[in-house]
Structure 1
Amino acid sequence: MAITALSAYPLPRIEDFPTNKVSWTFDPSQAVFLIHDMQEYFVSFYGAENALIDEVIANLVSIKAYCKANGIPVVYTAQPKEQNIADRGLLTDMWGPGINQSPEQQEVVSALAPEPEDTVLDKWRYSAFQRAPLEQIMKELGRNQLLIGGIYGHIGCLMTAVDAFMRDIKPFMVGDAVADFSRDDHDMALKYVATRCGQVVTTASVTEQATPAINQAANATNETTNGAESPITKATLQGTILSLIDEPEDEFDADENLLDYGLDSVHVMSLLTQWRKQGIELNFVALANEPTLNNWWQLISAQQEAQI
């Protein structure tokens, strides 16, 4: 009855995506980004060090950074940690007590933690629109496009896309920013959206347009590292980080959480992009696990030494 352990599978790439029946243009000025059910409870079924969920989280972080830089509101769904029988309804028949048995896992995973300006909706049914003011929020914002990512693809993400379509809201499901029970379930969800109720897009197609915030952070990185060809040193890494936060050098602690210093997801994604140009392949999850200068330097230096 309950969800069983979920295994990693290769995320579908754009060449695997079904052909979209419609050719809507994604418009940031009309969009809301929905991060669907990325709670520790649901993510935990993938286990530790699962390549699938790590990549999905990294893609969601990238999209969220793009949304923040482009004024796209970010909305979360999250099931309450205490649900009585009436509130759960038929979900209990299908899935058992659910998150009630693990209330300590109710929070959204740390890499995607909601920020004060984000909206978190209580989730009661498969669709994010049911018993929640999502449609009203979108109408008040004057927006009619819903960008969808999260878990699980063929359940809540798909039902939310269908529900959006029936409310004349254009759903865009990010095919490589959702995770599912299996690749078959994942492919089914994408095919249904693409052919019946919406459009399937990639993380890259959403975030490919450069944004002022990302450009600003990237320029700071370039100035500090003196060009993509220069090797990264601990000193230049610290200089880059100091250029992105408001903290005097003499008060900076290399073992302190960089997010507490004000480094945000836009900055982190711009750093990852710049480092990739220099042959350093890291992802957001690896950085977010221990966001300190000393830890980041260990990760970077290990890769640079391996290249020698």
Structure 2
Amino acid sequence: MALPVIDSYPMPDRSALPRSHVSWRIDPARAALLVHDMQNHFVGAFPAGRSPVVELVENIAALRALAGTLGMPVVFSAEPAGQPPGQRGLVADMWGPGIRDESDGAAIVAPLTPRSGEHVLANVRHNAFLRSHLGRLLRSKGRDQLIICGVYAHLGVLLTAADAFMNDIQPFVVADAVADFSAEEHTLALRWAARSGVVCVTDGLLRALLLHREQKKA
């Protein structure tokens, strides 16, 4: 199964957010930012220059900029190119061989190119924790909150959020900094994410991070 051709759809706004069942508050001293699979291969399935990909990249860039300012770890998960069958496993049955060696599909999209001091983890499954050292990295940094953005909402984003929750890491899924195959699947993913974490929007999360910093200074 190849990636579908994704039609343009509007990003959800605050009014469309499902109710979270927890009252966790984001703390920049406890949080890390995960940018999930924002590679040319995956982002290229969206119509360029239209919603939701325009807001997706802009909002992730804003989160990444503030995370850097606040000293929060920034982690990119990325599928490696040219995986052999033994590594790809059952994913090949569902999604085919994945990213080819000869393309630039494995690169993170240009506006989000990883910088010095940021972390890039190879992930060979949708869940960014599985078969990677993401959990160990977060523990080494003393982080028990994870802001999750990227693609695709009902696959990697949702599975990563669920695994974070199962490992006592509070997930914060940013509704307008993730995207999916369709508006329907995007909405479904947010509903499920709200059962194991906080679903928020970019501007609200940015304000909360800045407010927490100011309260610490006071």
TM over 0.5: yes
Distance in 2 between the 1:31 and 1:102 partners?
A: 36
Aligned residues of 2:36 and 2:76 also touching (Cα < 8 A): yes
Map of 2:196 onto structure 1: 197
Aligned residues of 1:41 and 1:102 also touching (Cα < 8 A): no
Q: With the length of structure 1 as denominator, give the TM-score of the two structures.
A: 0.66
Q: Deviations over 1:56-85 (max 9, x none)?
A: 100000111110111111000011112000
Map of 2:161 onto structure 1: 161
Map of 1:12 onto structure 2: 12
Map of 2:94 onto structure 1: 94
Map of 1:266 onto structure 2: none
Map of 2:213 onto structure 1: none
Q: Deviations over 1:111-142 (max 9, x none)?
A: 00100100000010010001100110111111
Task: Give the match's secondary structure for 2:189.
Answer: helix
The structure where helix makes up a greater share of residues is 1
2:175 corresponds to 1:180: no
What 5-or-longer segments of structure 2 have no aligned partner? 211-218
Distance in 2 between the 1:210 and 1:203 partners?
A: 11
Aligned residues of 1:82 and 1:103 also touching (Cα < 8 A): no
Distance in 1 between the 2:102 and 2:30 partners?
A: 37
Q: Deviations over 1:135-174 (max 9, x none)?
A: 1011111110000000000000000000101111100000
AA aligned to 1:204 is D
Q: Deviations over 1:199-222 (max 9, x none)?
A: 1011011112586xxxxxxxxxxx
2:73 corresponds to 1:73: yes
Describe how 1:155-304 pairs up with structure 2 within 5 A: 155-194=155-194, 196-208=195-207
Aligned residues of 1:148 and 1:172 also touching (Cα < 8 A): yes
> More relative contact order in 1 or in 2 (CA 8 Å, sep 6+)?
2
Deviation at 1:55, TM superposition (A): 0.8
Runs of 4+ in 1 over 6 A off after TM superposition: none
AA aligned to 1:7 is D
Describe how 1:3-42 pairs up with structure 2 within 5 A: 3-42=3-42
Aligned residues of 2:83 and 2:98 also touching (Cα < 8 A): no
AA aligned to 2:205 is V
Q: 1:210 to 1:151 in 2, by over 3 A?
A: closer
Task: Give the match's secondary structure for 1:103.
Answer: coil
Identity %: 41
Deviation at 1:104, TM superposition (A): 2.0
Q: 1:210 to 1:141 in 2, by over 3 A?
A: closer
Map of 1:109 onto structure 2: 109
Bigger radius of gyration among the two: 1
Task: Give the match's secondary structure for 2:163.
Answer: helix
Deviation at 1:180, TM superposition (A): 0.4
Task: Give the match's secondary structure for 1:178.
Answer: strand
Distance in 2 between the 1:101 and 1:136 partners?
A: 29
Q: 1:210 to 1:154 in 2, by over 3 A?
A: closer
Task: Give the match's secondary structure for 1:197.
Answer: coil
What is the RMSD of the two structures over their aligned residues, measured on CA atoms?
A: 1.3
Map of 1:137 onto structure 2: 137
Q: With the length of structure 2 as denominator, give the TM-score of the two structures.
A: 0.93
AA aligned to 1:150 is G
Task: Give the match's secondary structure for 1:128.
Answer: coil
Task: Give the match's secondary structure for 2:29.
Answer: helix
AA aligned to 1:15 is S
Aligned residues of 2:63 and 2:202 also touching (Cα < 8 A): yes
